[in-house]
């Protein structure tokens, strides 16, 4: 087909709606560097943008902005940056409160905030310590997942018989509102066992630790599914991640 005959199909192609044979024809023109088609498609994309931008204006909720920023760690980062100052502020608040011997409510709020900060940091630190313990364990077995697939979550699973299971993933977008990721330890020939709930960060990374002893030799795989918030006793969806646990070598004498 000539470029002229393809007129009227560029817009559909730009929207992913072109049908055969025009779709293949346009592709062929593009593959051979047809400048007419490239210019037409550019114009079609411009038209698409303008039409898309002409939708009746609507107002999202005020929470949406915060939600989006939190999902890439903006709020967390701010808090981390301010963390040392929170400590100082808490101490100053303590002295001020004692000195003025009055504003108990302000002091209590400040102290609660500082405590929350400390608690959050302690949780994060504990989680990292657990992860290091599993990764560095001499008897830890390691399995990869997602390799060789077009667009998967990728990563590794580490299983330690005494410490537990660590999952590290990338390309795992945060589960939608009302949903959460659930990890499963799948014993060979038996039903999956729940191994904790987690959410990925806004950049698609996730780190999840399930503490406790694991019978590595009896474990066939570690998997992850999307479940409703609160989790499920058994998987209710197809797994996004399946890491087959390789058999361990003979124990060192």
Partner 1 sequence: MTLLPLILALRTESDADLIGRLQRRDPEALAELYDRYGRLVYSLILRVVRDTGVAEDLVQETYLRVWNRVQGFDAEKGSIGPWLLAVARNRAIDYLRSTTGRARSSLELETTEHPALYTDMERDLLASDKARHIKAAMQKLSPHQREVIELAYFEGLSQTEMAERMGQPLGTVKTWVRTALKNLRDELGTVMAA
Q: What residue ranges bind partner 1 (CB under 8 A)?
A: 7-8, 11-12, 14-19, 41-43, 45-61, 64-65, 67-69, 71-74, 77, 173-174, 176-177, 202-204
Q: Write down the least CB distance from residue 91 to partner 1, Å.
A: 29
- Return the percent helix, strand and coil in the chain, to nearest 5: 40, 20, 35
Kind plus residue range of the DSSP H or E element containing 186: strand 179-187
Measured CA to CA, the distance from residue 146 to residue 240 in angstroms comes to 9
Measured CA to CA, the distance from residue 170 to residue 204 in angstroms comes to 5
Place of tokens 């905030």: 113
Closest CA to 195 of 245, 150, 154: 245
Q: Write down the least CB distance from residue 232 to partner 1, Å.
A: 21
Q: Write down the least CB distance from residue 47 to partner 1, Å.
A: 5
Closer residue to partner 1 in complex, CB, 72/122? 72
Measured CA to CA, the distance from residue 123 to residue 167 in angstroms comes to 17
Q: Write down the least CB distance from residue 26 to partner 1, Å.
A: 12
């Amino acid at each position: 087909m000539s470029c002229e005959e393809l007129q009227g199909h560029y817009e559909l192609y730009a929207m992913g709606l072109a049908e055969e044979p025009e779709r293949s024809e346009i592709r062929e023109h593009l593959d051979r560097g047809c400048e007419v088609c490239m210019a037409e498609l550019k114009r079609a994309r411009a038209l698409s943008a303008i039409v898309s931008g002409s939708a009746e204006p609507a107002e999202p909720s005020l929470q949406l902005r915060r939600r989006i920023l939190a999902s890439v760690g903006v709020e967390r980062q701010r808090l981390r940056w301010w963390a040392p100052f929170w400590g100082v502020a808490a101490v100053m608040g303590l002295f001020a409160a004692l000195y003025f011997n009055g504003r108990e409510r302000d002091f209590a709020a400040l102290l609660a905030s500082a405590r929350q900060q400390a608690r959050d940091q302690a949780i994060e630190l504990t989680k990292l310590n657990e992860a290091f313990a599993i990764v560095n364990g001499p008897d830890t077995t390691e399995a990869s997942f997602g390799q060789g697939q077009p667009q998967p979550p990728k990563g590794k699973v580490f299983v330690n018989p005494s410490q537990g299971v660590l999952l590290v993933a990338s390309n795992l977008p945060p589960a939608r509102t009302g949903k959460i990721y659930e990890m499963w330890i799948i014993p060979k020939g038996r039903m999956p066992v729940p191994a904790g709930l987690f959410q990925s960060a806004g950049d698609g990374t996730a780190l999840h630790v399930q503490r406790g002893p694991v019978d590595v030799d009896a474990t066939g795989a570690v998997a992850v599914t999307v479940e409703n918030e609160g989790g499920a006793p058994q998987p209710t969806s197809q797994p996004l991640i399946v890491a087959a646990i390789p058999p361990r070598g003979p124990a060192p004498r």
